[in-house]
Amino acid sequence: MRSRTIGVALAGLLLALSPAGAQERFPERTVTVIVPFAAGGPTDVVARQLGEAMSRDLGVAVVAENVTGAGGTIGAQRVAQARPDGYTLLLGNVGVATAPALYRRLPYDPLTAFDTVGLITPVPMTLIGRPDLPAATLPELVAWIRRTGAEVNLAHAGLGSASHLCATLFRSLLQVPVTAVAFRGTAPIMTEMMGGRVDLACDQTTNTVPYIRDGRVKVFAVTTPRRLAALPDVPTTAEGGMPGLLVTIWHGFYVPRGTPRPVVERLAQSLRAALADPAVVARFADLATTPEPPERATPEAHRALLDAEIARWRPVIAAAGEYAD
């Protein structure tokens, strides 16, 4: 009888230690979301809001950790090299798709290094400027830039960042040389812009809406086909005579390739629950964005968009001739 009891106990221990046992119990400890951009920035805001809601659903803490540098690739590499057990996630934006074109020696391949979990939110961009800039509309801004030329500085948060992609597209449409200035994150850009030392930037509404509403920066347009409910008085880029400046920054969760499928599905389920959380919906609305619908917050929809966006941005970046290495 004693030997049978020991055998049953050993079998239970082996099951608990096996990958299948670990999958059944997932999660048992803190889940870390790597944010590859600075604290307080637009991607960080999304991560922390989701983390609170997912913590309630998963029953464990979901915490954000900022791992910055190289346009988001250092944080992405951290996740690519992490143990594929579901406890380390990457919250990446469109920069995951543009990295293969920007970095000729990228230390990972986004298509093979990660498993997709699901899409989170499509965030619009806003074209903003210092409050004392001598233009009130997008046509007036373009005219001012053409008169001023290279003396105009256009800030972004580093090569590969969302603000850099939008700025690159804006510069290509202008066909006027302006001076690009790189910062480590968008928070210092806003500080310098409010102080009058930065002329222009293109950044996500999750970062800019509070500054726009308070009049701390001047806004010229939103980069969406239609006006935003959160900024109803701000015209679209098409209304301002620049229909080609359409940029929406999508976000998604990634895990290291090889993460067990049941774990990926549990994380996707938790993501969908968080995106339906009234607090998340309200917070996103206040920041001029909306949660992705359930059918988009899936590994399959996320993978399809990643493939399409890699193909979309490669020629844009190649035409700009800017590389991060």
Encode pLDDT of 85-103 as tens digits. Answer: 999 999 999 989 999 998 8
Report the pLDDT value the prediction gives residue 287, as an integer from 0 to 100: 85
Structure letter (DSSP) for residue 149? G
The answer, as to whether pTM is greater than 0.85, is no
Give pLDDT tens digits for 280-304. Answer: 999 999 888 999 999 999 999 999 9
- β partners of residue 33: 64, 89
Q: What is the pLDDT of residues 121-160, one digit of tens each?
A: 999 999 999 999 999 999 999 999 999 988 999 999 887 7
Q: Is the pLDDT assigned to residue 15 strictly greater than 50?
A: no
Q: Are the beta carbons of 325 and 319 closer than 8 angstroms?
A: no
The pLDDT confidence band at residue 4, using thresholds 50, 70 and 90, is: low
Count Cβ atoms below 10 Å from residue 133 Cβ, excluding itself: 19
Q: What percent of the chain has pLDDT over 70?
A: 93
Where does residue 151 rank: exposed (0-12), middle (13-18), buried (19+ CB within 10 A)?
A: exposed
pLDDT score at 19: 53
Q: How far apart are CA 60 and CA 271, in angstroms?
A: 14
Residue type, 107: P
Q: What does pLDDT average to over the chain?
A: 91
267 class by beta-carbon count within 10 Å (0-12 exposed, 13-18 middle, 19+ buried): buried
Residue 17: pLDDT over 60? no
Residue 202, classed as helix, strand or coil, is strand
What pLDDT score was predicted for residue 324?
Answer: 79
* Residue in 132, 95, 140, 154 with CA at minimum distance from that of residue 235: 140
CB atoms within 10 A of CB 311: 9
User: 302-325 pLDDT, tens per residue?
Assistant: 999 999 999 988 888 888 787 877
Buried b / exposed e along 275-288 (16+ C-beta atoms within 10 A): bebeebeebbeebb
Query: DSSP assignment of 50-116, as one string?
Result: HHHHHHHHHSS-EEEEE---GGGHHHHHHHHTS-SSSSEEEEE-THHHHHHHH-TT-SS-HHHHEEE
CATH architecture observed for domain 124-222: 3-Layer(aba) Sandwich (3.40)
CA distance 112 to 166: 26
Tell me the chain's radius of gyration from C-alpha atoms. Answer: 22
Neighbouring CB atoms inside 10 A of 224's CB total 21
Task: Name the DSSP letter for residue 220.
Answer: E
- Res. 12: pLDDT tops 60: no
Check for a shared fold between 29-123+249-320 and 124-222: yes
The 10s digit of each residue's pLDDT in 46-62 is: 999 999 999 999 999 99
252-285 tens-digit pLDDT? 999 999 999 999 999 999 999 999 999 999 999 9
Q: Rounded to an integer, what distance in angstroms lies between the CA atom of residue 95 and that of residue 161?
A: 6
Superfamily of domain 29-123+249-320: Bordetella uptake gene, domain 1 (3.40.190.150)
- Asked if the model's pLDDT at residue 11 lies above 70, the reply is no
Q: Which amino acid, 178?
A: V
Domain ranges of the chain: 29-123+249-320, 124-222
- Is 10's pLDDT higher than 70? no
For CA atoms 145, 146, 152, 157, give the dihedral sign: positive
